[in-house]
């Protein structure tokens, strides 16, 4: 059973320059410290290269596909050349479409709106809500959390085989028609555990049963090369703000037929080729059959260009060296956490599973929101606490009852109370070594010595009780 593997190139690059690397923040204990941004899985900082490219283009900003003037023509060329860059970054096939959206969530909702009639969707309960929830208008089969990559493939194969042998499928076949369409949705890298999923094997299983597959690459594309052709997936979705391009754009790339046959995701200018009044007073519309069909409205050319810039920057830096350095950071974090008996790292596939720079954990005797607040207030470290918009997965990993109270964000719990949430540290191409070293040191000190300050819950967040030191 193969999954994505870390690069074998042993050359380790230096961190890529990102905005905010010199920002200082105040500590509740006094003084200031350079902010350690360790919440890349939520939104990564902008690459300096991306910012510089956007700043250089900004004076030439103009409308896309809508003007005869020089700046409009330049902006249109930039927008369409960015589409080509993204297609190359993803290894798209010749007839694939690249559609620009607002985010991964938007991309998957677009695909959900384009599903053929009677499409059945298969999705693991381990998905982020962006890929777990958009299918509510389809027939959805939710698959239980697997505990190994091999089990993930076996679970999918079994579900698809059951579909093939179901009475409704047999009825359709007996009438001479094909079994209805099916779609599998799977993450490439978990936003909770960072673990890599066996995408290529899942794609093979889906295709063997006549199903298609969409890859949620929100957490994979910033950390690892993604090649649609090599993985043999039908679609890929990802967000710019996780790919060091936080300007409000995302991507859905892949096969064109379902998208071409669907009603436009949004009705409006840009999606239509021709609009004419009818004699009866109505309106006839001829929609585009290209990607423009689902890109109504004035395109976000700056957001799109920023994604293309990030794709170029990561490609030029070389994923082999980027992956090698990130794996070194992953090893340092995991080794440091392993030295603290009170820390439990969350995992589906076990310690040896390959993963990107996303690690979630809980600390015995600590409310996770309290721990995250102390990391921020006393060490200048930004992490995430909560259920990470992956409630079923975190509940499974914490061994909780499905009905136990918990929410995406800090629950109403006192600093010392147990709560249904966890702490997530995440990092990537712009993370300095010092941030990782400070994080590991801070975890050890907080566990062994406790927080230096008192904390309280305010508006659902655990915050320092200003002016009240713990010791």
What is the set of active-site residues? 389
Q: Which residues pair with 275 in a beta bridge?
A: 285
Q: Could you count the other beta carbons within 10 Å of the beta carbon of residue 184?
A: 27
d(CA 422, CA 344): 10
Count the residues in the chain: 471
Burial class (CB in 10 A: 0-12, 13-18, 19+), 10: exposed
Q: Could you count the other beta carbons within 10 Å of the beta carbon of residue 407?
A: 14
Burial 72-81 (b: 16+ CB within 10 A, else e): bebbbebbee
Nearest to 209 by CA among 183, 248, 235: 183
Q: Which residues pair with 213 in a beta bridge?
A: 184
Burial 292-326 (b: 16+ CB within 10 A, else e): bbbbbeebbbbbbbbbbbbbbbbeebebbbbbbbb
Q: Could you count the other beta carbons within 10 Å of the beta carbon of residue 8?
A: 8
Q: Which residues pair with 458 in a beta bridge?
A: 461
List the beta strands (DSSP E) in 70-173.
Answer: 97-101, 120-124, 139-143
Question: What are residue 277's phi and psi, to 5 degrees?
Answer: -75, 145
d(CA 44, CA 333): 18
CA angle 445, 446, 452 (to 5 degrees): 105
């Amino acid at each position: 059973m193969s999954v994505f593997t870390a690069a074998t190139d042993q050359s380790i690059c230096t961190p890529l320059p990102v905005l905010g690397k010199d920002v200082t923040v105040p500590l509740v204990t006094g003084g200031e410290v350079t902010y350690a941004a360790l919440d890349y899985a939520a939104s990564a900082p902008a690459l300096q290269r991306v910012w510089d490219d956007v700043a250089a283009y900004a004076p030439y900003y103009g409308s896309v596909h809508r003007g005869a003037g020089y700046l409009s023509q330049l902006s249109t060329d930039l927008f369409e050349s960015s589409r080509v860059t993204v297609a190359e970054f993803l290894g798209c096939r010749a007839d694939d479409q690249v559609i620009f959206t607002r985010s991964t969530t938007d991309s998957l909702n677009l695909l959900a709106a384009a599903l053929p009639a009677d499409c059945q969707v298969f999705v693991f309960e381990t998905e982020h809500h962006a890929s777990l929830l958009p299918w509510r208008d389809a027939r959805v089969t939710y698959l239980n959390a697997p505990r190994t990559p091999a089990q993930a493939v076996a679970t999918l194969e079994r579900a698809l085989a059951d579909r093939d042998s179901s009475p409704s499928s047999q009825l359709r076949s007996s009438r001479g028609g094909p079994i209805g369409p099916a779609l599998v949705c799977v993450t490439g890298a978990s936003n909770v555990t960072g673990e890599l999923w066996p995408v290529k094997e899942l794609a093979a299983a889906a295709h063997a049963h006549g199903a298609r597959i969409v890859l949620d690459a929100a957490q994979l594309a910033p950390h690892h090369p993604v090649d649609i052709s090599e993985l043999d997936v039908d679609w890929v979705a990802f967000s710019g703000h996780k790919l060091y391009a936080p300007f409000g754009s995302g991507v859905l790339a892949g096969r064109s037929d379902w998208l071409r046959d669907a009603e436009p995701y949004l009705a409006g200018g840009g999606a239509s080729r021709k609009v004419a009044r009818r004699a009866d007073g109505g309106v006839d519309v001829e929609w585009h059959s290209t990607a423009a069909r689902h890109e109504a409205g004035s395109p976000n050319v700056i957001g799109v260009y920023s994604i293309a810039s990030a794709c170029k920057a990561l490609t030029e830096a070389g994923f082999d060296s980027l992956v090698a350095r990130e794996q070194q950071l992953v090893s340092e974090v995991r080794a440091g956490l392993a030295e603290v008996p009170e820390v439990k790292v969350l995992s589906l596939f076990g310690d040896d599973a390959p993963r990107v720079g996303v690690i979630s954990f809980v600390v015995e005797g600590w409310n996770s929101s309290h721990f995250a607040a102390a990391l921020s207030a006393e060490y200048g470290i930004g992490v995430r606490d909560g259920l990470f918009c992956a409630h079923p997965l975190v509940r499974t990993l914490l061994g909780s009852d499905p009905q136990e109270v918990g929410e995406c964000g800090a629950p109403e719990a006192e600093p010392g109370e147990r709560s249904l949430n966890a702490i997530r540290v995440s990092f990537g191409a712009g993370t300095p070594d010092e941030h990782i070293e400070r994080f590991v040191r801070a975890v050890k000190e907080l566990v062994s010595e406790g927080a230096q300050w008192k904390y309280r819950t305010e508006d659902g967040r655990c915050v320092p009780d200003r002016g009240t030191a713990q010791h």
